[in-house]
Structure 1
Amino acid sequence: MDVKGVLGSISFDGEWITITKTPVGQPPAPVRLRAADVTGTHRKPATRLFHGYVQFLLPGSTAAGEKSGVMQGGRPPYSDPHSLSIPYKSNDAAEKLVAAVEQARG
């Protein structure tokens, strides 16, 4: 199960979540999270004007807050390794991925 994000992607194989961000000019830096270790998820659907995001919460770490402003549009900063911005066309795939992760957690 894959979700195409803004400058990256999220994939889930039933046990592991892989967030791969592709910064400009640098090699991709994937972050792997075990679904059983995730304590919660945040998903903000994208609109036609603003990107949304998917964020995974882990024990012992605080969630990166949403940044305000025209360019950020209420999303966590790009430097947050446990979140990824998503475009409007990826809303359905992101919803299915979050539901699958929640099911694998419990």
Structure 2
Amino acid sequence: MDVKGVLGMISFDGEWITITKTPVGSRPAPVRIRAADVTGTRLKPGSHLFHGYVQFLLPGASAAGEKAGVMHGGRPPYEDPHSLSIPRKSNDAAEKLVAAIEQARG
């Protein structure tokens, strides 16, 4: 199951979550997280004006807060390895991904 985000992608194979961000000028550096290690998920759907995001909460790691301002639109910073911004057209896929991860966690 894949979700195309803004400058990246989230994949879930039933056990592992892979967040691959594609920065400009360098190779993608994927972050792998076991679904069983996730303590919570945050999903903010994208709108016509702003992108949304998917964020995974892990034990011992503090969740990156939302940045304020017109350019950020209430999303975690790009540098946060456990989140990815999503466009409005990916809202349905992101909801299905979060539901599948929540089911795998239980």
User: Do Structure 1 and Structure 2 share a fold, with TM-score over 0.5?
Assistant: yes
Give the partner amino acid of 1:30: P
- 1:14 equivalent to 2:14? Answer yes
Equivalence for 2:57: 57
Within-5 A mapping of 1:22-33: 22-33=22-33
- Give the secondary-structure state (helix, strand or coil) at the position aligned to 2:30: strand
Detail structure 1 runs of 4+ shifted over 3 Å in the superposition: none
Equivalence for 1:48: 48
Give the partner amino acid of 1:59: P
Task: Provide the aligned length of Structure 1 versus Structure 2.
Answer: 106
| Structure 1 residues without counterparts, runs of 5 or longer | none
Q: CA–CA distance in 1 between the matches of 2:104 and 2:16? A: 10
Q: CA–CA distance in 2 between the matches of 1:56 and 1:66? A: 13
Equivalence for 2:105: 105
- Report the alpha carbon displacement of residue 86 of structure 1 after superposing the two structures with TM: 0.0
| Structure 2 residues without counterparts, runs of 5 or longer | none
**Identity over aligned residues, as a percent?**
85
Give the partner amino acid of 1:101: I
Question: TM-score scaled to structure 2, two decimals?
Answer: 0.99
What per-residue deviation string (whole Å, max 9, x for no partner) do you get for residues 9-56 of structure 1?
000000000000000001001000000000000000000110000000
Equivalence for 1:78: 78
